[in-house]
Structure 1
Amino acid sequence: MRVRNVNHKTPMLVQLIRHFRRAVALDISGGSNESPQLSKFCIQTPSFPRRCLASYSKPIKEAVSIPVLVAGRIVDPADAEAVLAEGCADFVSVGRALYADPHWCLKAFGQVKAPIRKCIACNVCFERLTLEKDVACVHNPMIGTEFEALEHAEPHLYPAARAQRPRRVLVLGAGVSGVEAARVLAGRGHRVEVWEKASRPGGQMHLAVAAPDKLEVEPIWSYRWEEIQEIGVAVRMGVAATVESIRAFAPEFVVVATGAQPRPCPFDTSRLDPDVTVMQAWDVLPAPERIPAGSRATIIGGGMVGMETADLVSVRGVHCTVVETLSSVANGMARNNRMELIERVEARGTRILTRATVLDAEAGHLEVEGADGTTTRFDIGEFLIIAVSPAAEAQGARLCEEAGVPFAVVGDAWRPGDFLSCLRDAWMVALSVDHRFRDRVAATALTT
Structure 2
Amino acid sequence: MKYKKLFSEGMIGNLKLKNRIVMPAMGTSLATSTGEASDEIIRYYEERAKGGCGLIITEITRIDNETGIGTPNQLCVTDSYQIPRLQKLTRAVHKYDTKIFTQLHHPGRQAHSSSLNGKQIVGPSPIASKAIGEIPRELETLEVENLVKKFIKGAKISQLSGFDGIELHGAHGYLICQFLSPATNKRTDKYGGTFMNRMRFLTEIIMGIRHICGKDFPISVRIDGDEFIEGGIDINESIKIARYLESIGIDAINVSSGTYESSITIIEPVSYKEGWKKHLSQSIKENIKIPVIACDSIKRPEIAENLLETNNLDFVALGRAQLADPEWGNKALNGKEDQIRSCISCLKCIELIMNGKRIECAVNPRVGMEIDFEEFKKDGDQRKVVIIGGGPAGMQAGINLAKRNFTPIIFEKEDHLGGSVFLGSKPPMKEKLKWFIDNMENELKDLNVDIRLNTKANIDLLKNINPYAIFIATGAKPIIPNIEGINSKNVYTAEQILSEKTEIKNKKIAVIGSGMTGLETAEYLNNKNNELTVIEMQKDIAPGTYLPNLMDILPRIKKEKINLLTSKKLVKINENSIELMNMNTKKIEILETDLIVLSLGVQSNIEIVEEIKESFKNIKIIGDVEKPGRIFDAMRSSFDKSYVL
1:162 aligns with 2:378: yes
What is the number of equivalent residue pairs in this alignment?
A: 411
Matches within 5 A, 1:238-249: 238-249=454-465
Hey, what does 1:394 align to over in structure 2? 606
Hey, what does 2:563 align to over in structure 1? 351
Hey, what does 1:263 align to over in structure 2? 479
Q: Are the counterparts in 2 of residues 176 and 203 from structure 1 also a CA contact under 8 Å?
A: yes
1:385 aligns with 2:597: yes
Matches within 5 A, 1:210-359: 210-269=426-485, 277-287=490-500, 290-293=503-506, 295-330=507-542, 333-359=545-571
- Structure 1 counterpart of 2:394, one-letter code: G
Distance of aligned partners of 1:252 and 1:365 in 2 relative to their CA distance in 1, 3 Å threshold:
same
- Judge which range, 85-94 or 107-116, deviates more: 107-116
Q: Distance in 2 between matches of 1:14 and 1:119?
A: 30
Q: CA deviation at 1:344?
A: 1.0
- Structure 2 counterpart of 1:292, one-letter code: K
- Structure 2 counterpart of 1:27, one-letter code: N
- Greater per-residue helix proportion: 1
Q: Distance in 1 between matches of 2:513 and 2:482?
A: 10
State which of 322, 332, 346 in structure 2 corresponds to 1:122.
346
- Structure 2 counterpart of 1:126, one-letter code: I
1:14 aligns with 2:14: no
1:43 aligns with 2:255: no
Distance of aligned partners of 1:360 and 1:342 in 2 relative to their CA distance in 1, 3 Å threshold:
same
- Structure 2 counterpart of 1:81, one-letter code: E
Q: Distance in 1 between matches of 2:447 and 2:342?
A: 20
1:420 aligns with 2:644: no
Q: CA deviation at 1:414?
A: 1.6
**Tell me, what secondary structure is at the counterpart of 1:305?**
helix
Q: CA deviation at 1:225?
A: 0.9
Deviation sequence 1:264-298 (CA, Å, 0-9, x none): 2442216x9x7x711122111132863213x2111
Q: Distance in 2 between matches of 1:68 and 1:337?
A: 29
Distance of aligned partners of 1:169 and 1:303 in 2 relative to their CA distance in 1, 3 Å threshold:
same
Q: TM-score, normalised by structure 2?
A: 0.59
Higher relative contact order (CA 8 A, sep 6+): 1
- Structure 2 counterpart of 1:320, one-letter code: L
Q: CA deviation at 1:240?
A: 2.6
Hey, what does 2:223 align to over in structure 1? none
Hey, what does 1:131 align to over in structure 2? 355
Q: Distance in 2 between matches of 1:86 and 1:347?
A: 34
Deviation sequence 1:22-74 (CA, Å, 0-9, x none): 2322111111112xxx2222112333221222222122112112111111112
**Tell me, what secondary structure is at the counterpart of 1:395?**
coil
- Structure 2 counterpart of 1:132, one-letter code: G
Q: Distance in 2 between matches of 1:92 and 1:237?
A: 39
State which of 162, 169, 194 in structure 1 corresponds to 2:410.
194
Q: CA deviation at 1:203?
A: 2.2
Hey, what does 2:313 align to over in structure 1? 89
Deviation sequence 1:213-235 (CA, Å, 0-9, x none): 01111122112111111111112
State which of 417, 421, 435 in structure 2 corresponds to 1:205.
421
Q: Distance in 1 between matches of 2:374 and 2:578?
A: 54
Q: CA deviation at 1:371?
A: 4.2
Q: CA deviation at 1:140?
A: 0.8
**Tell me, what secondary structure is at the counterpart of 2:608?**
helix
- Judge which range, 357-366 or 81-90, deviates more: 357-366
Deviation sequence 1:355-411 (CA, Å, 0-9, x none): 332344445443333443343513241011111212211123122212133201111
State which of 620, 631, 637 in structure 2 corresponds to 1:408.
620
Q: CA deviation at 1:321?
A: 1.4
**Tell me, what secondary structure is at the counterpart of 2:509?**
strand
- Structure 2 counterpart of 1:252, one-letter code: Y
Distance of aligned partners of 1:206 and 1:141 in 2 relative to their CA distance in 1, 3 Å threshold:
same
Q: Distance in 2 between matches of 1:281 and 1:419?
A: 17
Matches within 5 A, 1:362-381: 362=574, 364-381=576-593
Q: Distance in 2 between matches of 1:363 and 1:263?
A: 21
Hey, what does 2:391 align to over in structure 1? 175
- Judge which range, 375-384 or 413-422, deviates more: 375-384
Matches within 5 A, 1:28-107: 28-34=255-261, 38-107=262-331
Q: Distance in 2 between matches of 1:333 and 1:105?
A: 33
Q: Distance in 2 between matches of 1:329 and 1:216?
A: 24
Q: Distance in 2 between matches of 1:138 and 1:245?
A: 33
Distance of aligned partners of 1:253 and 1:386 in 2 relative to their CA distance in 1, 3 Å threshold:
same
- Structure 1 counterpart of 2:437, one-letter code: W
Q: Are the counterparts in 1 of residues 577 and 590 from structure 2 also a CA contact under 8 Å?
A: yes
- Structure 2 counterpart of 1:32, one-letter code: T
Q: Are the counterparts in 2 of residues 281 and 385 from structure 1 also a CA contact under 8 Å?
A: yes
- Structure 2 counterpart of 1:282, one-letter code: E
Q: Distance in 2 between matches of 1:278 and 1:427?
A: 36
Distance of aligned partners of 1:217 and 1:416 in 2 relative to their CA distance in 1, 3 Å threshold:
same
Q: TM-score, normalised by structure 1?
A: 0.84
- Structure 2 counterpart of 1:59, one-letter code: S
Q: Are the counterparts in 2 of residues 127 and 335 from structure 1 also a CA contact under 8 Å?
A: no
Q: CA deviation at 1:126?
A: 1.7
**Tell me, what secondary structure is at the counterpart of 1:291?**
coil
**Tell me, what secondary structure is at the counterpart of 1:261?**
strand
Q: Distance in 2 between matches of 1:349 and 1:114?
A: 38
Hey, what does 2:20 align to over in structure 1? none
Q: Are the counterparts in 2 of residues 304 and 331 from structure 1 also a CA contact under 8 Å?
A: no
Hey, what does 1:5 align to over in structure 2? none
Q: Are the counterparts in 2 of residues 367 and 375 from structure 1 also a CA contact under 8 Å?
A: no
Q: CA deviation at 1:165?
A: 4.3
> What runs of 5+ residues in structure 2 fail to find an aligned partner?
1-12, 14-233
Q: Are the counterparts in 1 of residues 385 and 467 from structure 2 also a CA contact under 8 Å?
A: yes
Deviation sequence 1:414-440 (CA, Å, 0-9, x none): 22211111111111111110xxxxxxx
- Structure 2 counterpart of 1:427, one-letter code: F
Distance of aligned partners of 1:10 and 1:135 in 2 relative to their CA distance in 1, 3 Å threshold:
closer
Q: CA deviation at 1:129?
A: 1.9
- Judge which range, 261-270 or 305-314, deviates more: 261-270
**Tell me, what secondary structure is at the counterpart of 1:11?**
helix
Q: Are the counterparts in 1 of residues 243 and 287 from structure 2 also a CA contact under 8 Å?
A: no
RMSD of aligned Cα (Å): 2.7
Percent identity over paired residues: 25
Q: Distance in 2 between matches of 1:334 and 1:147?
A: 29
